[in-house]
Structure 1
Amino acid sequence: MTKYFADVSSFQPDNLGFFQGLVNAGVSGILIKTTQGSHDGDNYINPKSTNQARNSLAAGMNVGFYHYFLATSVADAINEAKFFEQSVVNLGFGKDTPLCVDVEDSSLNTSAVASYVDAFINCLKTQSYTNVFQYSMASWFNEGILNANKHPTWVANYGSSDCGTRGNIIGWQYTSSWGGGSQDMSYDWGIFDKQPAKTEAVTQAKVEPEKPKVENIIKLTEQTHPVDRLGIERPETYEAGSTWKSSDIVMINNEPHYQIATDIFVPISKTAFKDLIIVKYTDDSPAPVFDKNGKRVHNASVSTGKAFKTDGVRIINGIPMAKIATDQFIPFEYTSGSKFE
């Protein structure tokens, strides 16, 4: 089955209807422009990127991001990579997210840009990103300005029955006027197929490192139909391995659910946090621990970043809690994925 993905910037809409329309037309993936240049250069962040990411996820799309490249040196390229990475972190996406460097600007030094691209991609790889690739027009690869074999490559070539170049090609942008308008469209030859890196199973009550970063990112462990706030199943299906940013934890049908969009929820039991919680509390203050009767356990508290294997959900005094030890419980609102600040 042929797979398609679109790419968008601030020129495209950011409402749910736009992305739902793409999905209804058979488009399963989206690459969103987040940044351009560097913090001390253009310092450009797509003002629609947050809503575009949120609503494309809500429409059930696979989501990745791209950066418009303007580097004039290796050092500048590294600064651009860091600027781009921070935008991805701020949006709440993980290390297996598809990330692309868009190399096409006429101001680029074509005799040196390949080395700048190497520096950009290598910077992201050293930060453990696993799905990083380059984009440009076919002519830049054919003329030797860029190397389509050195990095996974998404290539632009319009009005042809062929992608126009050879190498490690993982996507072909074949038109800039899809649907009769000005929307780019591409064939996906592996960009959104890449499987996330496996994580080691938790074998102890306290998971190392001792203070993991709390990012509110959850990962589905099985194919899942989300539900609305009333527990009614929605028609879309989210794939195992897909990652989402949670804004709250809500009890639905006596089970805690992560809220991943307006009135869209997935059960904790179908995520990597089924048997694990990471404590999320204010600043460096320790989170309180309670017993089975809902009373505060004196001399028992845990700091933000601590991770625990859990033994199911308990409703204590009307509050859903995770069991972390014999007669010790932490409210789910004090764990990663909640809105508690």
Structure 2
Amino acid sequence: MTKYFADISSFQRDDLAFFQGLVNAGVQSVLIKTTQGSPDGDNYINPKSVTQVRNALAASMSVGFYHYFKASSIADSINEAKFFEQSVVNLGFGKDTPLCVDVEDPSLNTLLVADYVDTFINYLTEQGYTNVFQYSMASWFNQGILNANVHRTWVANYGVNACGVSGNVIAWQYTSSWGGGSQDMSYDWGIFDKQPAKTEATTQPTVEPEKPKVENTIKLTEKTHPVDRLGIERPETYEAGSTWKSSDIVMINDEPHYQIATDIFVPISKTTFKDFIIVKYTDGSLAPVFDSKGNRVQNASVSTGKSFKTDGIRIINGIPMAKIATDQFIPFEYTSGSKFE
């Protein structure tokens, strides 16, 4: 069975219910950000890390840590590695703890950053840590900024069918919107279970991952005036970041809207679902996929909980559908926020 893990920082919650919710959805492991930069630089320690660790362990999760990399020299790389190591020691974790260097900051020198990462990882390895790896977006590996063959590698690449990187790949962060929110989620091929590393030829999962809990909770991304069923703007205003329960998806003025009350609707384009969907279909059954002519696409059905980056809306045979691939569409009726059961 494919395993997967969440990664979190101070932006996520630290209460026990948050971690128990992950476990209930089948997520058994978590990487927690502890530090950023060095004592001479950002000098950042995640203020929630102690509580996040405590409650993750209370929920029986496996725990690892990551450091956000800002180094501008070899000496700085060592200082950052020491800063990160001390945070792990302070939290009471040992040498076999999963430890990651998060390499993505736009201020990094892309001509020299690979050397700095080598220094950071080599320092931790020399201290006896046995589960150290690097993280970045697929483009940095494919452009040669970082080398996925030199170190164990966790790749970020969204909206694709495979991680897109060859080498010593041990994990793939395949979404930043798992469960309908802003939660990252990754496939684990060798971090918490320490299995042999995968290559690109075998990176695509052979089975569906555990499904996130599909809920009809939507979140606004900007200040919004709702409308009624006729598209007439209502006087009240809802703030960005506010969340609502949707009971249906309705077309108003040629745009799909979530129904959040008897005659109150907000457009999908002003929610976190504006460019992705989560499939919501009958448990145990696969949701059908259609082409632009309304014909069902063979061998393209998808299961509940699977998420897709969408590329526009199409009305096909009078039914609003989200485009999920070239000439492949899924009805909004079969996505989070609808009344379909």
Q: TM-score normalised to the size of structure 1?
A: 0.57
Q: In the TM superposition, what whole-angstrom CA distance separates every residue of 1:222-254 from its partner, at most 9, and x where no partner exists? A: xxxxxxxxxxxxxxxxxxxxxxxxxxxxxxxxx
Offset of residue 2 of structure 1: 1.0
Q: SS at the partner of 2:63?
A: strand
Q: Give the 5 Å matches for 1:132-143.
A: 132-143=132-143
1:157-176 residue pairs with structure 2 within 5 A?
157-176=157-176
Specify the alignment match of 1:52 in structure 2: 52
Instruction: Give the partner amino acid of 2:187.
Output: Y
Taking the aligned partners of 2:176 and 2:164, their CA distance within structure 1 comes to 16
Gap regions ≥5 residues in structure 2: 196-341
Q: Write the distance in 1 (CA, Å) between the matches of 2:87 and 2:194.
A: 21
The match for 2:152 is: 152
The alignment status of 1:100 with 2:100, answered yes or no, reads yes
Q: Deviations over 1:98-156 (max 9, x none)?
A: 00000000000000000000000001011100000000000000000000010000000
Displacement of 1:187 after TM fit? 0.3
Partner of 2:76 in structure 1? 76
Q: Which residue in the other structure is 1:36 paired with?
A: 36
After superposition, the C-alpha distances for 1:299-334 in whole angstroms (9 at most, x for unaligned) are: xxxxxxxxxxxxxxxxxxxxxxxxxxxxxxxxxxxx
Q: Which amino acid aligns with 2:178?
A: W
Q: In structure 1, how many angstroms separate the alpha carbons of the residues matched to 2:155 and 2:61? A: 21
Determine the C-alpha separation between the residues in 2 that align with 1:71 and 1:123: 14
- TM norm structure 2: 0.57
State the secondary structure of the residue aligned to 1:155.
strand
3-state SS of paired residue (1:184): strand
Provide the secondary structure at the position in 2 that maps to 1:67.
Answer: strand
Whole-angstrom CA distance in 1 between matches of 2:28 and 2:190: 12
Q: Partner of 1:308 in structure 2? A: none
State how far apart, in whole Å, the 1-side matches of 2:82 and 2:50 are: 18
Give distance in 2, aligned partners of 1:88 and 1:120: 15
Partner in structure 1 of residue 189 of structure 2: 189
Runs of 4+ in 1 over 4 A off after TM superposition: none
Q: What is the CA-CA distance between 1:157 and the residue it aligns to?
A: 0.2
Q: Distance in 2 between matches of 1:60 and 1:171?
A: 21
What is the CA RMSD across the aligned residues, in angstroms?
0.8
1:275-290 superposed matches below 5 A: none
* Matched positions, count: 195
**1:89 lines up with 2:89 in the alignment:** yes
**1:336 corresponds to which residue?**
none
Distance 2:169 2:29 in 1: 17
Shift in Å at residue 193 of structure 1?
Answer: 1.2
Give the letter aligned to residue 145 of structure 2.
I
Task: State the AA in 1 paired with 2:6.
Answer: A
Q: Unpaired segments of 5 or more residues in structure 1?
A: 196-341
SS in 2 for 1:27: coil
Deviation at 1:190, TM superposition (A): 0.9
* Aligned position for 1:6: 6
Q: For residue 22 of structure 1, give the secondary structure of its aligned residue in structure 2.
A: helix
Name the SS for the 1:134 alignment partner.
Answer: strand
Alignment of 1:234-313 (within 5 A): none
TM-aligned CA deviation for residue 194 of structure 1 = 2.6
CA distance in 2 between counterparts of 1:48 and 1:15 reads: 10
- In the alignment, the residues of structure 1 paired with residue 194 and residue 3 of structure 2 have an alpha-carbon distance, to the nearest angstrom, of 14
Q: Which residue of structure 2 lines up, in the alignment, with residue 20 of structure 1?
A: 20
Q: C-alpha displacement at 1:15, in angstroms?
A: 0.5
